[in-house]
Amino acid sequence: MADRHLTIVGAGLAGALLATLLARRGWSVDVYEKRGDPRLKGYEGGRSINLALAERGRHALQLAGADEAVMTHAVMMRGRMVHFADGHTDLQRYGRDDSEVIWSVHRGELNITLLDIAEQAGARIHFHRGLERVDFDAEKATFLDPRDGREHEVTFKALVGADGAGSTLRRQMAACTELGERTDFLGHSYKELEIPPAADGGFRIEPNALHIWPRGRYMCIALPNDERTFTVTLFLPNESERPGDPSFENVRNGDEARVLFERDFADALPLIPQLEQDFERNPAGLLATLYLDRWHLDGRAVLVGDAAHAMVPFHGQGMNCAFEDCVALADHLERADGCADAFAAFQAERLPNARAIQAMALENYLEMRDRVDDDDYLLQRALERA
Ligand code: FAD
């Protein structure tokens, strides 16, 4: 391709990784990020604290030269540790041995590692630049500095939207072409809580597992962090289906959360000393699946990651899928004759894959909250392992 310059909107997980992959191949890359530099003032993510990293994601990190740095802080998860209502536990391995595992990584640390390697590869990252609007005909994008409200105009050849589920670039593209956008809200939301380290500085529960407390229509999960804490996520329906069923309608504050935990998550309760404070401080996050029929505006703009296909988190694949997008897009840009061909080939390859993962993520919510403690399911898993 003659003009090897790209402008990426969003320096989150996908934006920083894509910038690295392209810069390492000699592309000139500018990345514009709404937030400040997390290396200076700390990470202000506002989303899940840790993430399950799987083989698909690790492959992309290896190609970007980031795997080693990321894995130094990752905690191995061999399987699901199911916490039954009567208090007993059962480890259901993901594979036959430790060659088939997933890893818990800290979102903020991962983002910082990816920003570092993107800059080392030669990408230019501009912080405090939130995309406001795009004039696709004039090839001009306007970014706002949230600190002083000033606007900055930038000329571009092609834009990549890595600006997450609420993508501004997607909104701007939709004003020019029909993207076939649909968002399905799950009707369930989540709250994050924390299990701190034990008095001796170690982990309070088994570190090498993804813990699940399945309770039918709702559940808790906990992922380990390398500083010996666990991030607990409570998933509840927004409204009760039957009177008295727990939901965010009747679990509204710390006291009501304690009553729920005393009844349904009794073995988790003593592990979360700040339950009331965590519950009241942390916002409830909405969960939704975003479907688009079209991810690009000819050769002028394309969407990747959550901006193209946000999904519910129950398969732990949103980031992994976003990383696979970056590898595919970088490859198509390298091979194709112009951005329009590259973006079309990228969409043709990745859209069906994203749809499949979105469906699996929805199915896995039922499995995690309702089936992993089911006798038939346990028997089937035991037979598979035998
Ligand atoms: P984001 O991470 O959202 O990054 C978008 C970036 O764009 C941000 O830096 C943002 O500040 C910036 N931005 C936004 N608007 C603008 C603008 N107008 N201008 C400039 N910049 C802008 N995935 C997994 O693989 N494993 C998991 O275990 C997992 N667990 C999850 C748990 C929860 C509770 C949730 C909600 C999600 C989870 N995910 C998981 C999904 C994962 O978080 C996303 O798929 C991933 O963050 C997508 O990366 P992204 O770069 O596309 O978007």
Same domain flag for 172 and 23: yes
Is 271's pLDDT higher than 80?
yes
Strands (E), 158-218: 159-161, 182-195, 210-214
pLDDT digits (tens, 9 = 90+) for 79-100: 999 999 999 999 999 999 999 9
Which has the closest alpha carbon to 263: 88, 90, 85? Answer: 85
Residues 118, 189: one domain?
no
Q: How far is CA 322 from CA 41, 63, 349, 351, in A?
A: 26, 14, 13, 11
How many Å lie between the centroid of ligand 1 and the Cα of residue 38?
15
Per-residue model confidence (pLDDT) at position 219: 94
d(CA 19, CA 94) in angstroms, rounded, equals 32
pLDDT band at 367; cut points 50, 70, 90? confident
Residues 6+ apart with CB under 8 A from 239: 187, 247, 248, 249
pLDDT above 50: residue 224: yes
Q: Structural domain of residue 199, as residue ranges?
A: 185-286
| Residue with CA at minimum distance from ligand 1 atom 2 | 12
Residue of 175, 162, 183, 174 lying closest to 34 (CA atoms)? 162
Asked, for residue 361, whether it belongs to a domain, the answer is yes
Do 153 and 163 lie in one domain? The reply is yes
Give a yes or no: residue 345 inside a domain: yes
Q: What is the mean pLDDT of the chain?
A: 93
| Final residue of a structural domain among 286, 309, 332 | 286
Q: What is the ipTM of this complex?
A: 0.99
pLDDT digits (tens, 9 = 90+) for 227-253: 999 999 999 999 998 888 999 999 999
**Among all chains, which residue has been given the structure tokens 């029929």?**
293
Does residue 322 have its Cβ closer than 6 Å to ligand 1?
yes
Is residue 386 very low, low, confident or very high in pLDDT (cuts 50, 70, 90)?
Answer: very low
Cα 130 → chain centroid: 20
The residue from 261, 286, 311 where one domain ends is 286
Q: For residue 70, give the amino acid letter.
A: V
**pLDDT score for 377:** 58
Last residue of a domain, one of 286, 312, 332: 286
**Mean pLDDT value of segment 333-355:** 97
Evaluate whether residue 383 is within a structural domain.
no
- Looking at the chain, the whole-number percentage of residues with pLDDT higher than 90 is 88
- 92, part of any domain: no
For 89, the enclosing helix (H) or strand (E) is strand 89-93
- The tally of domains found in the chain comes to 2
What number is the average pLDDT over the span 354-370? 88
What's the 161 CA to ligand 1 centre distance in angstroms? 12
Q: Is residue 98 part of a domain?
A: no
Whether pLDDT at 381 is above 60: no
Closest residue by Cα to residue 327 from 308, 344, 304, 352: 304
Does residue 333 sit in the same domain as residue 197? Answer: no
- The pLDDT of residue 374: 66
Pocket test for ligand 1, best of 9, 13, 188, 292 (most atoms within 8 A of CB): 13
305 lines ligand 1 (CB under 6 A): yes
Q: Is 45 in the pocket of ligand 1 (CB under 6 A)?
A: no
Whether ligand 1 lies within 6 angstroms of the CB of 361 is answered as no
Q: 110 and 162 share a domain?
A: yes
C-alpha gyration radius of the chain: 22
Interval between CA 303 and ligand 1 midpoint (Å): 13
Report which protein residue has its CA nearest ligand 1's atom 3. 164
- 109 C-alpha to ligand 1 centroid (Å): 14
* CATH code assigned at 340: 3.50.50.60
CB of 163 sitting under 6 A from ligand 1: yes
Indicate the residue type of 333.
L
Closest residue by Cα to atom 1, ligand 1, is: 164
Within-domain flag for 351: yes
Please tell me whether residues 34 and 11 are part of one structural domain. yes
| Same domain as 307, residue 213 | no
Q: Is the pLDDT of residue 372 over 80?
A: no
